[in-house]
């Protein structure tokens, strides 16, 4: 992951976005292998290495810290108390948008070292319609009352280099609701203004799948990919195994 991220950054990717949760230490990292080895072999390996070894997670965190990286979190209904790892501020015009957003009491996040290093952190939750079809995606939700951005919104923010979201809701200048509290109107990210519905969602414009836009990670690592295509792009990294949906 560290090598993949660095190669994408070197190619000029505007944002490198992981649709993956790194919630546990890498079990293939050498210090983990040593820790799980039989005691006699563990001591011999420790002596042979002659000092502290940087773990895979530490290497990945260092790479995330020097690249335009965005990590995912997932909200859920089991209460947690850790604060949301916000990377951007919110400026509000009009009504308080928090009252129109769904609130979750729980948060599943990444290893602290990875979270601390990332330049963006966004949720990957989606809210299906009553027939369980996904037609809209939320750009904002709440975690224990605090407004949080989606992974896609954070990807855009990091790509354009913005530090603040501007959220317009009912009764803002130009979005008059004559005193009624009708919900959100739009979210501004750098030079981009995104119209939303009252709950901060956008309609998904589905289109045919284009295989040319999916690049196997191994091609990036081996040098076989067209790296010129990565310059200025928002690169999403995720699982493609069918069983993982």
pLDDT in tens, the chain (245 residues): 999 999 999 999 999 999 999 999 998 888 888 888 888 888 888 788 776 778 999 999 999 999 999 999 999 999 999 999 999 999 999 999 999 999 999 999 999 999 999 999 999 998 888 898 889 999 999 999 999 999 999 999 999 999 999 999 998 866 555 557 789 999 999 999 999 999 999 999 888 888 888 999 999 999 999 999 999 999 999 988 777 66
Report the pLDDT value the prediction gives residue 175, as an integer from 0 to 100.
55
Torsion of CA 148, 150, 154, 156, to 10 degrees: -140
Report the pLDDT value the prediction gives residue 49, as an integer from 0 to 100.
77
Report the pLDDT value the prediction gives residue 36, as an integer from 0 to 100.
84
Q: How far apart are CA 97 and CA 190, in angstroms?
A: 19
Radius of gyration of the chain (CA): 21
Report the pLDDT value the prediction gives residue 179, as an integer from 0 to 100.
58
How wide is the angle at C-alpha 82 spanned by C-alphas 85 and 115, nearest 5°?
A: 35
Q: Helix 56-65 vs helix 2-10: angle between axes, to the nearest 10 degrees?
A: 20
Report the pLDDT value the prediction gives residue 189, as an integer from 0 to 100.
98
Contact 67, 6 (CB under 8 A): yes
Report the pLDDT value the prediction gives residue 39, as an integer from 0 to 100.
84
């Amino acid at each position: 992951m560290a090598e993949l991220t660095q190669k994408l950054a070197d190619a000029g990717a505007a944002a490198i976005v992981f649709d993956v949760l790194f919630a546990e230490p890498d079990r293939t990292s050498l210090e983990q292998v040593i820790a799980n080895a039989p005691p006699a072999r563990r001591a011999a390996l420790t002596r042979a290495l002659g000092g502290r070894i940087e773990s895979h997670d530490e290497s990945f965190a260092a790479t995330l810290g020097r690249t335009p990286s965005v990590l995912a979190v997932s909200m859920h209904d089991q209460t947690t108390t850790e604060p949301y790892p916000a990377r951007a501020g919110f400026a509000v015009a009009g009504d308080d948008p928090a009252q129109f957003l769904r609130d979750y009491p729980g948060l599943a996040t990444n290893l602290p070292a990875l979270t601390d290093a990332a330049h963006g952190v966004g949720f990957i939750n989606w809210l299906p319609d009553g027939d369980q079809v996904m037609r809209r995606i939320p750009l904002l939700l709440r975690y224990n009352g605090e407004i949080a951005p989606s992974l896609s919104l954070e990807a855009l923010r990091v790509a354009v280099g913005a530090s603040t979201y501007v959220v317009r809701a009912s009764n803002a200048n130009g979005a008059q609701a004559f005193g009624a509290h009708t919900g959100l109107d739009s979210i501004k990210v750098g030079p981009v203004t995104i119209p939303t519905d009252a709950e901060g969602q956008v309609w998904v414009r589905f289109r045919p799948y284009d295989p040319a836009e999916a690049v196997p990670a191994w091609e990036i690592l081996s040098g076989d990919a067209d790296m010129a295509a990565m310059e200025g792009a928002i690169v999403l990294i995720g699982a493609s195994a069918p069983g993982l949906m």
